[in-house]
A and B are shown apart, each in its own frame.
Chain A
Amino acid sequence: MSRVVKFTLFQVITWFLVGLGMFMIVTRPGVIENWGDNKYKSIALAILFLLGYGTDLVIRMLEKSKKFGFIRDERSEYNQLKAMSIGFIIVLIFIFVFAITLYTRFENKGFMPIGYVWILAYSTIIAANLGVGIPTLIIYRKQEKN
């Protein structure tokens, strides 16, 4: 397993855990309906996203570090571009499906709790990170398996 794959795997696991944590927070009773009044939910989400972005920052710093001997070559750039193209499509589909689901669910009520918009915003970040990370792992796996 190359270093790029190890780092990407670590990143994917982290963002998966962030997503899982967020899911557990927002599915608790009353959280979405009382979105603005729940300070603890905001702090918990902030900590989760700090963990996700913190991991990204540490990985980037390790990549830049000469001491660590991390090498990116043309194949890394090619794979990254390919994964980002796939990730872009995944995010588009995710937002479309999420928005349409909300519309069909609340169409008859005529209004929607504002918390859902926050969930869409937060989950788009997670979808983008997983949508690029997972295809990256699949592309490398295809190229590097014997």
Chain B
Amino acid sequence: MLKNNLKAIRRSKVSITQQDLADRVGCTRQTIIALEQHKYNPSLILALNLAEVLQTPVEDLFYLEDDDE
């Protein structure tokens, strides 16, 4: 299962709002919310765009977790 540190990195490293992040990567704020709540898996393009805006390697932003964990 794909998980992410989006919320933590957005708040600590870059400190931008969900709306600002959404505007910069070209999606809606609801999509950022869904991502932060691990309810939506982004496309590779969106994942790379998020990593670029948040100045974080994509593998630090997204990681795989076993379903039973």
Contact = CB atoms under 8 A, between A and B. Distances in A.
A73 B34 contact: no
A142 interface: yes
B26 interface: yes
B39 interface: yes
A76 B27 CA distance: 10
Contact of A71 (B28, B39, B40): B28
Q: Is the interface of A mostly helix, strand, loop or mixed?
A: helix
Contact of A74 (B27, B30, B37): B27
The B interface is mostly helix, strand or loop, or mixed, namely loop
Q: How large is the interface on B (under 10, 10 to 19, 20 to 34, 35 or more residues)?
A: 10 to 19
Interface string B2-33: 00000000000000000000000011101101
A27 interface: no
Contact of A73 (B31, B33, B37, B39): B31
Interface of B: 26-28, 30-31, 33-34, 37, 39-40, 42-43, 45-46
Which 5 interchain pairs have the tightest Cβ spacing?
A73-B27, A143-B34, A75-B31, A143-B39, A2-B30
